[in-house]
Structure 1
Amino acid sequence: MDGPHVLVGFDGSPAAGRALRWAATEASLRGVPLRVCHAWTWPYPPGPRGDEAQEIVRGMGVIALEDGVRIARETAPDLDVRPLLAEGTPSAALLGAARDAELIVVGARGAGGFDRLPLGSTAVHVPAHADRPVVVVPAHEPARVEKRIVVGVDGSPASRAALGFALREAALWHASVTLVCAWWDPAVLPGPDRLPFTDPRGLKEEAKARFAAAVAPVLAAHPEVAVEQRFVLERAGRVLADNARDAMLLVVGDRGIGSSPKTALGAVTRSVLHEAPSPVAVVHDRDTQVKESS
């Protein structure tokens, strides 16, 4: 597909259904088409296969795709919805189809795999390897959802990109932003666990100053968005998931400060993908769409 659009993967699972509805609303707000992708694959080891059997498997994919298109049009009746049937794994299909996409949306867990796993392989592989923002949507919606977007910032390039994305999403959805810096340093631990010869208050104030300096230029570009800033002495993964319990979206960078450049997703990002009850947007410093819109 040429031109900007939102790309969503759909396999008929509950998480994919919620992801599809989320993506349809997002595309409608952006004023761009929605591309619904279903990936089908031959489920047996390589070997001779009759054309009739292959067409049956492909036909089941067509039915699933038609169901996804129907759900999208019911969600946003005026939306331009375009189907895409691809052969291969869901991750490969989505990454291969994402060239012009402004955003990729996937369910947290697809129809395959183990029922007790909160996160499937596609929901990890696509955000790890995409060059644009990816939103991972869980199957179950919390009982109460506020029009509020939570974003984690630690001063890294990816977190600054995440902040810009969160502010643009907030303007699009008419939502507020809760900006969270979760700062953790063993030097400020109370009692005998604290590192010796350190000034805990000075370290904390220095970290707060770095945090304020990092976010000020990005916030200045979006004065229309209401922003609450929280500087918290806590481990990032836990505090971000807690702050996002009633939020409509949690936004994080793919890797924070201290993550190895060889790591596809940092520890905090992996943690919130598994634990956050809200949709999670993963934004990369290399994201094509983030840089084009900044």
Structure 2
Amino acid sequence: MTDTSRRVVAGIDGSPDSFAALDLAAEEARARGVPLHLVCAYVSPLLYIPYSPPVIPGADEPARKMVHDTAERIRLENPGLTVVENVVQGGGAAILVDESHTADLVVVGCRGRGGFTGLLAGSVSAQLAAHASCPVIVVRPAHPAVRPEGGHVVVGVDASPECGPAVEFAFIEAARRRVPLTAAHVWSHLPVTAMTADAPISYSYAQAHEDAERVIAESVAGWAEKYPDVEVLASPILAEDAGAELVAVSEHAGLLVVGSRGRGELAGMVLGSVGYTLVHHALCPVAIVRRRPARNQTRG
């Protein structure tokens, strides 16, 4: 693995989804002024012969040719962009998680080669979104990468600590794309305001709406001042299912950004139910952003 943190990594396997993701990855690398690393993981057939080499010589040649041809196309379409080719033996998810430790961003397609038709999100993209150390963008099928002049950026916010890195990433993307940023907060519980014999439980929609707007304002506080050219739109949404609501919002977005795990998620669910839903069903590219260790914080 190349020892540099200033790079964008694109996981490719020759599938249409990975090529769609590659276009967005090239754009991200060019905007950041960093190299683009194309990473292809392959699994070699085993030779079931005692004392034989563990892999068949030359098994990586198809992958290397695919990566090289792809790199040449990206160089032609993006003059001046440094494109590094990397073909590695091993499982795709493990390789890309390893790459994420020293990368600015990893971009993958939602579903690659070898996935079952019924699996809306391939195991590589889902595992990467759950375990990567840097932000991950998953590009959904039939929804190609959106150019800077495309749809606005949406960030899902709540009162959890995981929200901060996602908001920062969303502001950076909105500023780069020169589009508005919508901060969406989905709330479902109304606060109790009174309990009487005639009205055992009284709820205040106005108070709940005000609380939702406060959560949004606190989430973007500071970042709006740092990025004054980014128009910020508040979107408090009353609903039971945050994931389903954000999927609906994604239909008109260019990028949807969420933290790795929000409020109310089980500790054992590294990705979280909302992120899992979006990776499977969102109608635009999805960025999963988690708080990374201080020693790896390299974004500018």
Kindly indicate whether the alpha-carbon contact (under 8 Å) linking 1:161 and 1:290 is maintained by their aligned counterparts in 2.
no
Once the two structures are superposed, residues 140-199 of structure 1 have per-residue CA deviations (whole angstroms, 9 ceiling, x without a partner) of 1269983311111112111221111000111122222111111112669xxxxxx95132
Kindly indicate whether the alpha-carbon contact (under 8 Å) linking 2:153 and 2:170 is maintained by their aligned counterparts in 1.
yes
Query: How far, CA to CA, are the matches of 2:271 and 2:43 in structure 1?
Result: 27
Q: TM-score, normalised by structure 1?
A: 0.88
> How many residue pairs end up in the alignment?
288
Give the match's secondary structure for 1:29.
helix
Q: Name the structure 1 match of 2:195.
A: none
> 5 Å matches for 1:269-280?
269-280=275-286
> 5 Å matches for 1:120-199?
120-141=122-143, 146-185=150-189, 196-199=200-203
Query: How far, CA to CA, are the matches of 1:225 and 1:241 in structure 2?
Result: 23
> Deviation at 1:206?
2.7
Q: Name the structure 1 match of 2:262.
A: 256
Residue type matched to 2:154 in 1? V
Kindly indicate whether the alpha-carbon contact (under 8 Å) linking 1:105 and 1:137 is maintained by their aligned counterparts in 2.
yes
Flag the 1:109–1:49 CA change in 2: closer, same or farther, 3 A: farther
Residue type matched to 1:239 in 2? E
Unaligned runs of 5+ in 1: 189-194
Matched, 1:206 2:208: no
Residue type matched to 1:22 in 2? L
Give the match's secondary structure for 1:178.
strand
Flag the 1:271–1:288 CA change in 2: closer, same or farther, 3 A: farther
> Deviation at 1:268?
0.7
> Deviation at 1:291?
4.6
Flag the 1:147–1:112 CA change in 2: closer, same or farther, 3 A: same
Matched, 1:65 2:70: no
> Deviation at 1:228?
1.2
Give the match's secondary structure for 1:101.
coil
Kindly indicate whether the alpha-carbon contact (under 8 Å) linking 1:147 and 1:174 is maintained by their aligned counterparts in 2.
no
CA RMSD of aligned residues (A): 2.7
Once the two structures are superposed, residues 202-254 of structure 1 have per-residue CA deviations (whole angstroms, 9 ceiling, x without a partner) of 33323332332232233222212111111111231122111111322110111
Matched, 1:11 2:13: yes
Identical columns (%)? 34
> 5 Å matches for 1:77-92?
77-92=79-94
Q: TM-score, normalised by structure 2?
A: 0.87
Query: How far, CA to CA, are the matches of 1:148 and 1:2 in structure 2?
Result: 34
Flag the 1:17–1:144 CA change in 2: closer, same or farther, 3 A: closer
Query: How far, CA to CA, are the matches of 1:151 and 1:127 in structure 2?
Result: 16
Query: How far, CA to CA, are the matches of 1:48 and 1:77 in structure 2?
Result: 49
